[in-house]
Structure 1
Amino acid sequence: MSDRPAFQFYPKDWRNNAKLRRCSPAARGVWVDLLCLLHDSDEYGVLRWPLKEIAQAAGASMAHVRELVDKGVLKGAERRGEDYIHTPRHAGKAGEPVALVSAGDGPCWYSSRFVKDEWLRQRRGAGTRFDSENQPPSRSPNLSQSGPPNEPPNRRVGEPQGDGPSIASSSATSGSSEANASAAGAAAAKTPAELTKAELWAAGKSLLREAGMPEAQCGSFIGKLAGDYKAYPDLLLEAVRTAVVEQPADPVSFIVATCQRLAGKRQPTSTRAAERKQTMAALGGEFVMGESHATGDVIDA
């Protein structure tokens, strides 16, 4: 059974999904119960049970469950169904096809969106775990500041770049590398709850890069949120920590929504709507992700 207490739900995609809109209101209600079963399954998003047992577990009639199958919402077959093959896309280019569900000979029913999001979550999670080859910055964070640790400014066009490091700086770099290598084992064993502030910023930016955000925009995205919520110094840090734990399919929307939710608990009711509108207006359309949730296939693709 899945140890995650919840799954992401996108109301816009629920309303706009053409396959789901073709189902009766009763069948759409049954689909919510089936999503809960798929979420709790040991094989996330997949149930290898006969359709009759699925209907019994959901407390639904076979007619309504069969309606979801006929409309293409619940995918699979009772015997010898087709494997689910996903072709990832990034920057308008198709990647190598990946088999996410092997149907086998027995019954196999699944939500393709749940299966795809789980694959993305695991893939991106691997890029944010610290090990001997993936280490956070070695400098100590300034815990008194509300935003991310200070980063050296980028050189502007026309400024001198220098001829490379001096002998003294090369020696210092070598010593720092040896110190990082000796600390690799300790950092690799840390959970998100134990990570330092600098380590969390590094993990959060890595999560954004894995989702398709350009390197230069990762820092400005975090910095913009830090400025918006400067009245709550620990709020953004908590939002990033939650994203690192949950590994959401859309980390940008997840972090923004988490910041808004946490800020809403700490603000007077009269100021919540105004700040939510201001934040989304500033961030909307500024970042273009590798995959969008506006395709209408969140529930069944």
Structure 2
Amino acid sequence: MEFEAIKTWFFELSPVMQALMGGLFTWTLTALGAGLVFFTKNVGYKLLDSMLGFAAGVMIAASVWSLIIPSIDMAEGQGYIPWIPAVIGFISGAVFLRICDAYLPHLHLGQPKQEAEGVVTTWRRTTLLVLAITLHNIPEGLAVGVLFGAAAGGIDPTGTATVAGAIALALGIGIQNFPEGVAVSVPLRREGVSMGKSFNYGQLSGVVEPISAVIGAAAVLMVQPILPYALAFAAGAMMFVVVEELIPESQQHGHTDLATLGTMIGFCVMMVLDVALG
């Protein structure tokens, strides 16, 4: 009975509030992963690379099953040539992340500070590391927000977007956010940063997700015709992160097979979640 009451309460929330709840959930999973730093400062690269591979697999599957396919179906339902919004949105999402990648100062895990990307800055290495993770959490939050906005707002004429599907997406992204939290906090702790600061930096990398989720939901509610483009945009941004960051980082320590297996498992987990719940 309690579960049914919670379910009824959630489904009665506004689309923006549902998106906020989804974003807060994914942020919480990031914080839980970052909290591992209170128990250990040594997570082997085999496990870490497998986790990053898993996160990549989840994001790939989410891009396809939760975003690209609904984008095509919605475009067809709105009378567009089905693939045009998907292609335009997908490329636009990748270009947006590329521009952010080029100008926002950030540093990928395992690299020395002199390898920092974006404009030259005197910011500390820890800040640059957090910004790198924060950058690729933006499309994750947007994806959750756009899907909740489409489903709960009743603006999808095809019925492709459902609240259950949006919940599945939030759940999948939340699951892969756990290793991302670990990937930020534990290396910082290993480098001598205090436990408290390592945790704070790790969980702060996910704070952008509820913010971008609310923005995504509000945007599609205000401008309904952009919905197919918005879904594909989030997918393109996520795929850019996977190819440009997650996969290379997961394989830079020589654990190629483990990282690849993690990607395959992550893909299957997200696919099952989306099909079973969506």
* Normalised-by-shorter TM-score class: under 0.3
Structure with greater helix share of residues: 2
Higher relative contact order (CA 8 A, sep 6+): 2
Between structure 1 and structure 2, the one with the greater Rg is 1
TM-score using structure 2 length: 0.25
Structure with greater strand share of residues: 1
